[in-house]
Amino acid sequence: MKESDNVLRILEETRKAIERDDPAEIMSLSNQTTNTASLTQDPDNIAVAVIVYSIGKILERENYKKLKGWNSFYKITIDSLERAVEDIKKKDDKKFRKDIETIRKAINKISGKLRKYIQEVFRNAQINKASRIYAHGVSMAQTAKLLGITMFELADYAGKTGISDVPSTTTMNAEKRIKLAMDMFE
């Protein structure tokens, strides 16, 4: 896992934000993780970006908390985040990945409408995060592969949102890149 200190911080802060019921903070943490995931193209960082974003989107929807299965989903999510934090501290990447996957699989233990809604949130989160990583300059093919979506899904979403038209995705000439690099070290 690359940037494990950053992932550790993101997960610890996400757990606290869940307990405070602060989806806006969770979304901010997800954006921070997306930036790191874009730079490192590390599958662990990408998985965390998707999970954190999904949790934020789920918590935004107050009506989900009233549906059957919510308490189970919430408990599994909190417990898995706590275990993932401990796994990072122990440098056990294999267990960390298992705990992150447990959050995704928590939806399989939920029945009815909540299950369907959360599955949709996770899928949309993958596409959203893919578009953000693509906007950071990672190729469409690589981004789609990293997030397990099709290039068509990514192109469709990027086209609808205009993400491919964002100035940060256009190539800078060498002179501007050198100036930017120099400014970072001042």
Percent of the chain with pLDDT over 70: 80
Question: How far is 137 from 114, CA to CA, in rounded Å?
Answer: 35
| Residue 146 CB neighbours (<10 A) | 21
- Chain segment 135-165, per-residue pLDDT in tens: 777 777 777 776 677 777 767 767 666 544 4
| Residue 57 CB neighbours (<10 A) | 22
SS3 state at 20: coil
Q: What is the DSSP secondary structure assignment for residue 164, as one 8-state letter?
A: G
Question: How far is 59 from 19, CA to CA, in rounded Å?
Answer: 11
Instruction: Tell me the whole-structure pTM to 2 decimals.
Output: 0.70
- Chain segment 7-58, per-residue pLDDT in tens: 999 999 999 999 999 999 998 998 888 777 777 777 888 888 888 988 898 8
Quick one: pLDDT at residue 48?
87
Question: How far is 12 from 15, CA to CA, in rounded Å?
Answer: 5
Question: How far is 59 from 56, CA to CA, in rounded Å?
Answer: 5
